[in-house]
Structure 1
């Protein structure tokens, strides 16, 4: 399929009426519960001479985020939607070096992109500003950058989530109740106070709001010096030749 035929196929397959102009609604994963998990995958050709170090320095804990000293993982956790996200760089004869982004999240695709704006234009531009055609501040807003990100959407071939019927909030609550129940069991076993006092304290503690489970992010700061995609074709050719 050539580029012109591909453009027609994309246009005819459009099923999303999203305000963000997304081509596809994305996969919806559900196991029959109240929650559903959505996914988004995108690709954006990188500028000649792009600075991958700036991207990794932005995402690394304590990196070049706004406000200064903020960390990517806790900031993402506060959005309350994203279950997992990853960035990587690949290349092809057609597009050259390209930034890829994959994310799975609770809630609707539109809500996800609405909340994506909350990252701020400076933080978004430090990553996607390395890509061809991305609007950048001061002449662009966070919404402008997110609209650019949405236009880079591509279809995902396959997707997996361990518990799509459970929302992030339900997972946090289950972990919170488990820890509180353990403390109650240990208090009963030790015989501290009367059973009535222990039960009342346990019920009161269960009613208290849960604390978010600590999130984590791993950034390979050596990526700009170790191009993992550069020799893939050569390695595959050697493997084929040995067969």
Structure 2
């Protein structure tokens, strides 16, 4: 669907890039002018003895992330491209208990998975190592695991992004400039300094690099002790599939 602002959400054709991560397709594309936002959705069968405590702890706490100086949210912020990501557990006719993952990000799927590998083998194994077929152990590399993740891709029916025309860095820069402009206006309103000095200071501040806006993550560490998909049929008043 398009309009006069050239805003569209389209399903791209099959990936033909020789550097692709064994992806079926490039996923949904949210476009506004020259800016693009991409998405990825995937599913993987959980092991019968999947350790959901280990999975959630890895995403939640410094001491379970490698290196422990960071946590999942901080490490993800440093990658720069990722806008949002979520994990959840459901069931499927193909696998039974299933791990699902949804992400939105700037740049292409190939670039996203290139960066995804930077999370490191240990962190990836703590999460996707709970799934059947994921390469694990000392001989498995981060790239092996990300290739496994890519093969679990499924199509997304629809997605939404509030600001596809803005990248993360543009949003951060504009937030920084807004704060600096407010400070300039307040300094002018005080009238205690020469206006030219205030202008020079303001322009100097605008030229400085902008700080990263803090990102956040919410992880339910009680996930292993609470119903996930098992009570949905009852709550909806429908019969479970045989």
Q: Which residue of 2 aligns with 1:168?
A: 168
Cα distance in 2 between the residues matched to 1:97 and 1:209: 46
User: 1:7 aligns to what?
Assistant: none
TM-score relative to the length of structure 1: 0.90
The correspondence of residues 46-125 of structure 1 with structure 2, limited to 5 A, is 46-125=46-125
Query: Which residues of structure 2 form unaligned runs of 5+?
Result: 1-11
**Cα separation, 2, equivalents of 1:169 and 1:29:** 18
Deviation at 1:223, TM superposition (A): 1.0
Is 130-139 or 195-204 further displaced after alignment? 130-139
| CA–CA distance in structure 2, aligned partners of residues 140 and 233 of structure 1 | 38
Deviation at 1:202, TM superposition (A): 0.2
Could you give the per-residue CA deviations for residues 168-204 of structure 1, whole angstroms, max 9, x where no partner exists?
1100000000000000001101113100000000001
d(CA) in 2 for partners of 1:234, 1:25: 36
The match for 2:28 is 27
Q: Give the structure 1 partner of residue 14 of structure 2.
A: 15
> What is the Cα deviation at residue 93 of structure 1?
4.0
TM-score, with structure 2 as normaliser: 0.90
Aligned residue in 2 for 1:216? 216
Q: Which secondary structure state, in structure 2, belongs to the residue aligned with residue 224 of structure 1?
A: helix
Runs of 4+ in 1 over 2 A off after TM superposition: none
Higher strand share: 2
What is the CA RMSD across the aligned residues, in angstroms?
Answer: 1.5
**2:237 match: secondary structure:** helix
Task: Give how far 1:68 is off.
Answer: 2.2
Aligned to 2:134: 134
Q: How far has the Cα of 1:137 moved from its partner?
A: 3.0
Number of aligned residues = 226
Which whole-Å CA distance do the structure 2 matches of 1:145 and 1:238 have between them? 37
Q: Distance in 1 between matches of 2:93 and 2:236?
A: 16
